[in-house]
Chain A
Amino acid sequence: MTLALALLLALFEAPKPGTYELPPIAQVQERELVDASGAHVPFPGLAPGQVAVVAFIYRGCHEAQGCPASLALLRELDRRLAADPARAARVRLACVSFDPERDTPARMAELHDLMAPRSDWRFLVPDGAASLAQVLRDFGQDVVDLEGGAKRHVMKVYLVDADHRVRNIYASGFLDANLVFADIDTLSPPVK
């Protein structure tokens, strides 16, 4: 709803990039995850000047305000980045599954095909429970296993800078692509 109202009714304008601060919230570690092709890759693994928008998801999520909402945000970011190559070079999008048991690389590849990314959007899964625990602890992402395979969690999307510091966290009620882009341009200003 926030996304819809903000875009349709323009209830507010995103602040001008660079006019506000995004102090570090947490430091995350470089980890190795598995991508949709089955290859082990560094995560976040950013180049200098890059930022990442990271969403933890699982494909079995049926909570409307959960993973579908964060995927919708990343999809919108992806489409807008595709139309802005200069900005796209500074941004990586990443979905990380917190259900490595079911969300195999093959299943993440299906999600990749479904989303049909047009920018640097990666679909990743931890290599087992220990790897999952590490990355969840890094980000402070809560997850509880419920009966039937469901996973209770508070949906969050993280903005990570090139030094692997979490600089903002977006959640249900505040998923707004304009705000994310303002933050991206604050952390990684466009080259003039």
Chain B
Amino acid sequence: MTRTRDALRFVAVCCIAILAHAARADETCLSPFMPKITGQEDYVYVYTLGIEGLGDGNDKLVTLGANPKRPGYGKVVSQVSMPGRHEAHHGDFTDDRRFLWLGGLDTSEIFVFDVATNPGKPRLAKRISNFVAKSGGVVGPHTFYALPGRMLITGLSNAKDGGGKTGMVEYSNAGEFIRTIWMPEGAEYGYDARVNPDLNRMLTSSFTGKKNYMRPLGELMGDAEAMKHFGNTVVVWDFHARKPLQVLQVPGAPLEIRFALDARHYYAFTSSALTARLWGIFRKDDGTFEALDLAPIGDPAKPPLPVDISLSSDDKTLFVDSFVDCTVRVFDVSEPRKPVVIHEQKIGAQLNMVSQSWDGKRVYFSSSLLSNWDKGGADDEQFVKAFSWDGKTLEPLFAVDFKAEKLGRPHIMRFGQEGFWAGTSSPNVGE
């Protein structure tokens, strides 16, 4: 009798476990395998490109205070320099959110920061300098995406010719190389990768190789031959097997991918940089996917170069940043096949990344795209700006001038929280 009662209690607990997941969405763009900060973020970690002659000139991890109830709100609370300039670009946390991996697109160096021991003062824990050799020639580590116990890293290029043929590389959380998966024939370019575990599907997008992304933008745009060498595909993968299933045509360099977060929503969004279109990747009834051109982003006749997107945790609102016109456009995507622009706002003289809090009430913007693509003269503003969002308008909260602070070009932003790991350090990534 006791065993029967215990067994029933166990089944009840399991049911709670199963249903609880359905009621929760993920922090807006992070791996579904990672715990999320659902309350007020205390810090914004900003991966920053060094500028020669500005401060120490090195790439940096800059930590900004983001909690108005704590000291240092809207200020630089700490910074760590990484010797040299590596074309600091993207990065993300491990699945346990203890370590922040950051990649350099030029040197392919990877820096691993401990953000658990002292979230307000990250510490460089490991440096991986043999990514190209270990991976068999993948260059330009771009997206870092936490898998259970591992880090999936998408490449942008290769060591053989600096073109766009590339692959994805897996490392253990301990920093050991596991394997390289080259992009499939006909879809050789790489950029972002996102997983929907409920569907066992991964989507990857496509950009361009090092010969292009390290070249001055104006020069590149004037080279018709070079402009042919951008990706036009999104690949659908069997995530578990890491096998490509479908190649979808999405012309004009589809960049960031955001899967819908509700477990009943079987679609993702991406934006094509060169053609300035918002795309939807929808699962069909037969289990295959289709790519649908949903809407223009700004005026395609004056390409605004959309660069980053951020989907709200309720799947209703999509922020789309454009670099050239420095504008964020907010789409109502509650009907995902019929997105509608509900707000437009110019953020600065140039604009790249956008990150929103779990509750969608705070939105952060950064300015830098690539060192050779950022604007010149007075338009080369370098900032992180925080806004509040009430569903209709963006109101300024604070701004940090990264040039005045002698920091550099701010790029990707990730959130930290004091006490998230109770101030302990992890054993599995050493100095």
Contacts and interface: CB of A to CB of B under 8 A. Distances in A.
Contacts of A179: 200, 240
Contacts of B95: 154, 171
A4 B18 CA distance: 7
Interface residues of A, number: 50
Interface in B10-64: 10, 13-14, 16-22, 32-35
A14 B240 CA distance: 8
Contacts, number: 135
A9 B4 CA distance: 29
B429 to A, nearest CB: 9
Interface stretch (A78-86, A98-106, A119-127, A132-140): A132-140
Interface string B229-243: 000000000101111
B172 A25 contact: yes
A156 B149 contact: yes
Interface string B67-108: 000000000000000000000000000011110000000000
B227 interface: no
B263 A1 contact: yes
Interface residues of B, number: 50
Given A11-B199, A137-B428, A114 B33 contact: no
A142 B98 contact: yes
A170 B149 CA distance: 9
A64 interface: yes
B241 A68 contact: no
A65 to B, nearest CB: 6
Given A20-B243, A142-B426, A174-B148, A113 B3 contact: yes
Interface stretch (B154-162, B173-181, B341-349): B173-181
B421 interface: yes
Interface in B319-344: none
Interface stretch (A29-37, A41-49, A144-152): A144-152
B178 A152 contact: no
Interface string B404-431: 0000000000000000011010111000
Given A11-B200, A15-B243, A146 B21 contact: no
Contacts of B426: 142
A185 to B, nearest CB: 13
Contacts of B19: 1, 4
B412 to A, nearest CB: 22
Most buried by A among B17, B19, B198: B17
Contacts of A1: 18-22, 198, 263
B33 A11 contact: no
Contact of B422 (A114, A146, A172): A146
B197 interface: yes
Contacts of A15: 238, 240-241, 243
B263 A144 contact: no
Nearest to A138: B428
B240 A64 contact: no
A160 interface: no
B223 interface: no
A26 interface: yes
Contact of A169 (B22, B150, B238): B150
B243 A69 contact: no
Nearest to A158: B149
A170 B200 CA distance: 13
B238 A145 contact: no
A172 B6 CA distance: 24
A184 to B, nearest CB: 13
A114 B10 contact: yes
A134 B243 CA distance: 35
Interface in B121-180: 147-150, 170, 172-174, 176, 178-179
Given A20-B240, A137-B428, A169-B148, A69 B199 contact: no
B7 interface: yes
8 contacts: A1-B22, A1-B263, A15-B243, A20-B242, A26-B176, A137-B428, A140-B428, A179-B240
